[in-house]
Amino acid sequence: MNNPLVFKQRLWMREPDAKLFSYLLRLPKLEAFIVDFKSISRQKATSNRQWVIGQGYQPFNDDAEGDSVVPKEREKRSDFVGRLPDVPIGAFTRLAQAIDALKPAESSHVRRYGFEAGFQGVRILVPRGVETAQNRLRATYCDQSLTFQHIMQAIVVPDGDEERAKLLTALLNSRIAVWYAFHGTASFGSDRPEVGQANLLILPFPSPADLPNETAALSAAKELVQIVDEARAETQNAFAPRVEDQEVLQRIDQLAYKYFCLSPDEIALIDDTVDFIMPAVQPHEGHFPDLWQVPDAAQRALYAHTLSVSLSGWFQGQNRLGTRLMARSADLAILRLRLNGHEDYAEEQQGDLTTVLEYLSEHIHQPLDGNFQLMPDLRVFVGGCLYLIKPMQLRFWLRSTALADADGIALDLQQAVTMQRPRSAS
């Protein structure tokens, strides 16, 4: 397949992520109805009849450009910059832009005018950079005149599409948007954490009719629009009750999951990526990502539960498989899955790693003395039990890892079944 992102995706995706990505890939994208302002005439860009995207102005930098002589005829003075309030990136506010404290830029002298139609009217402002503290994109709905630099892009909204714009604003702030951008765009995840204009347009933005459950999507859309309206009311009324940012973002996430009709497994994939994978993408000195930590008991139990439920669908009459942690040390743990076992997850308190390895070695008639850190997917089948020998690092105990492990086990068994069949047929 013609996929220029294949190396990056192989780096960060496992099979379950790839499946979710392929679902979202099928949905209509922003590029289906938003055009780049450079590709259309100035008249059309200001007509308010279509969705247009463009970047803000580039300021004229005296220090950097002072040496070169700028001819008078090439000197650019903007009709907007220096007159309208200007939003520096530090003053950007998510969902609804507050403009009370904003002042015009000091000079109207610009290097590039930028997308001037994006300085007025209804539009969505989207900074290029990913907010690394939250691991999210940011977007704000705006209908007041203001200017901004090229680090931000504006999506101009045609008359009558205001509700759709509010929905898009909310969805761009959700974890789904940043998850898709992480896997589906060029820079974020392999270079700078940013999503430029061209990459922004490949994010999915289906209408409710494109989704599996139109009714649920419509209901979620209504609430997402309401969140943006509430945020706008807050910025306009200093006395309005303020909802904590985290709480709003969590609400947006839940509604975005509902809008896209995601299953609990798919939600777990996104949450794990945002909570654990993205913060570990660029390790630096003095930073020890959670992904490398030893999983605690609750995380081990969650892994076992997710694996058990996900695998159970592949076996007749199983609602879940029995799970038990047979032994663990500081480096390794051995998890047992049992067919027809319905016991809740538990951990052997006295389990000894060496004893269990000797037991397994005896049953498969071969030594088990390899470097298990180099074989993180080692599985030993003994009768109706399957033993997973796993390094004690959180990355091997995430819910998303459990889903990937379940897929891997199912695929291996599928192949084993297929290989057995021709022998019996002949």
Partner 1 sequence: MNLGDVQAWTDNFVSFDDRLLERIAVVWPSCQAVLSEQPEEDAITINLVDRLGKDPIVRRLCYWIEYQFEPFGVAPDGSKYSKGKIDIGVLLDWERERYLAYECKRLNVSQAAGRSSLATAYVTQGMMRFMTEQYAEGLPVGCMLGYVMDGDIEFAMERLEKAIAAHQPLALLDGPTPKVSVQQIRRFLTRHNRPSCMKIELRHALLSYTSLA
Contact residues for partner 1, defined by CB under 8 A: 1, 10, 15-16, 18-20, 22-23, 26, 211-212, 261-263, 265-266, 310, 313-318, 339, 360, 363-364, 366, 368, 375, 377-384, 386, 403, 407, 411-414, 416-422, 425-426
Whether the Cβ atoms of residue 261 and residue 217 lie closer than 8 Å to each other: yes
Whether the Cβ atoms of residue 342 and residue 322 lie closer than 8 Å to each other: yes
Whether the Cβ atoms of residue 311 and residue 337 lie closer than 8 Å to each other: yes
Provide the CB-side half-sphere exposure for 100 (13 A, CA). Answer: 8
- Compute the least distance from the CB of residue 401 to partner 1, in Å: 15
- Compute the least distance from the CB of residue 286 to partner 1, in Å: 35
Helices 264-272 + 175-184 axis angle, to 10: 70
Q: Which helix H or strand E contains 380, and what residues bound it?
A: strand 378-382
- Compute the least distance from the CB of residue 7 to partner 1, in Å: 12
For partner 1, the closer of residues 66 and 313 by Cβ is 313
- Compute the least distance from the CB of residue 358 to partner 1, in Å: 14
3-state secondary structure 11-63: HHCCHHHHHHHHHHHHCCEHHHCEEEHHHCCHHHHCCCCCEEEEECEEECCHH
The whole-angstrom separation of Cα 177 and Cα 24 is 10
- Compute the least distance from the CB of residue 25 to partner 1, in Å: 9
- Compute the least distance from the CB of residue 419 to partner 1, in Å: 8
The whole-angstrom separation of Cα 326 and Cα 373 is 18
For partner 1, the closer of residues 64 and 419 by Cβ is 419
The whole-angstrom separation of Cα 145 and Cα 423 is 74
For partner 1, the closer of residues 90 and 367 by Cβ is 367
For partner 1, the closer of residues 142 and 333 by Cβ is 333
For partner 1, the closer of residues 246 and 371 by Cβ is 371
For partner 1, the closer of residues 107 and 340 by Cβ is 340
For partner 1, the closer of residues 87 and 403 by Cβ is 403
- Compute the least distance from the CB of residue 266 to partner 1, in Å: 7
Residue of 269, 92, 279, 278 lying closest to 176 (CA atoms): 269
